[in-house]
Amino acid sequence: MELAHRPIGVFDSGVGGLTVFHALKRRLPHESMVYFGDRARCPYGDRDPREVARFALEIGRYLERLGVKLLVVACNTATAVALPRLREELAIDVVGVIEPGASQAVQASETGRIGVIGTSVTVASHAYADALRSLRPDVCVTEVACPLFVPLVEQGHVDGEAVEAVVRDSLRPLLQERIDTLVLGCTHYPLLMPVIRRVLGPAIRVISSADATAARVAELLAERGLEAPRGHEGDACFLTTGDTASLRMALATWFGEVPGERAVRHVSLPISDQPLQRTAP
C-alpha cells in the first residue's frame, strides 16, 4: 500500500491514549489509525521502567510490522522511559507526548510556576522537568505522582464525591506551590478534567498534551509528504490485550464512538508471538 495511505499507529497502556487518538481524529480526519491499548498490563506507571520500555518496544515493533507510517506514543510513562530507544529501533517516525505538552505549558504559563502530575514512573524520570527547563530555564517545576488516578479511570470512575476526594488530596501539594499552570502528564487524566478543574479553580490553566501532539503529527506528516489524500476517508481499528467489551464500552461512553464488529480486536500476550491482525486498515 502506498505509504501516505497507511494508518497512524497510536498506543497506550489502556484507554488513556484515546484522548490523543481523538485529538488526532479531529485534527486529521483523512488519516486512518490503529489504536493499541495494552490493557492486560495496565497500569504501566508503577512498574520497573525497564519493563515499560520492553513493552513499548514490543508494541512499537508490532505496529511497525502492521504497516503504520508513523507511531504516536500516547502514553507519558512509555514516552518518558522509551522514546529514544523507540526512535533508534524503528524505521518510522515516533512522536511522544511530553515535548508537545511541555511546550504548550511554557507558552501558557505567565509566572513560570508549573505543576506536573503523572504516574510514579513519569515523575521519577523528571522527563517533564527536563523538557520544561530546556524550553525555559527559569521555570519552577513541581512534579507530583498521582498513582490512584489511572486505576480510577480504567474502572470507569471519573466523577462523583469519592473521585473528587482522591483528586483533591492528590493535588493539595501543588496548590501550596502557587502554580499558575498544571500539565496533565498522563493521557488518562484528561478524562478526569471536570473534577480536576473543580478542585483547582478557574485561575490555574490545565494543559493536556493531546492537541499539541496532534499538531506535531500534522506538521511531521506534511514535512515528510506522508499526508493521506484529502478525498481519503480515515478509518480506525482498535486492538487491545484486554477484553474487547470494556474497550467498546469506554469508546462509547467517553467518545460516542461505536466501531464496527471487526474494528475492535483482541491481541494475546506475548505480542511478539501473535499473527498480525490482517483486518487492520
d(CA 18, CA 12): 8
Is-contact 15 154, C-beta < 8 A? yes
d(CA 57, CA 203): 40
Residue 42 is a catalytic residue: no
Nearest CB to ligand DGL, comparing residues 12 and 64: 12
Name the packing angle between helices 127-135 and 76-89 (round to 10°): 80
Nearest CB to ligand DGL, comparing residues 9 and 45: 45
Residues 71, 94, 150, 251: which binds ligand DGL (CB under 6 A)? Answer: 150
State in angstroms the smallest separation of the CB of 42 from ligand DGL. 5
Given 42, 146, 186, 237, which residue is catalytic? Answer: 186
Is-contact 111 134, C-beta < 8 A? no
Which stretch, 24-32, 40-48, 191-199, 258-266, contacts ligand DGL (CB under 6 A)? 40-48
- Of 143, 216, 156, 214, the residue nearest 188 (C-alpha): 156
Is-contact 37 89, C-beta < 8 A? no
Residues 188, 250, 251, 271: which binds ligand DGL (CB under 6 A)? Answer: 188
By the rule CB under 6 A, 72 interacts with ligand DGL: no
d(CA 107, CA 222): 24
Residues 6, 10, 12, 239: which binds ligand DGL (CB under 6 A)? Answer: 12
Nearest CB to ligand DGL, comparing residues 14 and 49: 14
d(CA 47, CA 52): 7
Which stretch, 60-68, 70-78, 125-133, 219-227, contacts ligand DGL (CB under 6 A)? 70-78
Residue 186 is a catalytic residue: yes
Nearest CB to ligand DGL, comparing residues 187 and 213: 187
d(CA 248, CA 269): 20
According to CB under 6 A, which residues from 103 to 122 bind ligand DGL? Answer: 119, 122
Given 42, 75, 146, 237, which residue is catalytic? Answer: 75
- Of 101, 102, 103, 114, the residue nearest 174 (C-alpha): 114
Amino acid letter at 229? P
Which stretch, 23-31, 36-44, 211-219, 235-243, contacts ligand DGL (CB under 6 A)? 36-44
The three-state secondary structure class of 121 is helix
d(CA 149, CA 115): 16
Residues 44, 62, 128, 238: which binds ligand DGL (CB under 6 A)? Answer: 44
According to CB under 6 A, which residues from 222 to 281 bind ligand DGL? Answer: none
d(CA 24, CA 27): 5
According to CB under 6 A, which residues from 77 to 106 bind ligand DGL? Answer: 77
Positions marked catalytic: 75, 186
Interface positions with ligand DGL (CB under 6 A): 12-14, 16, 42-45, 75-77, 119, 122, 150, 186-188
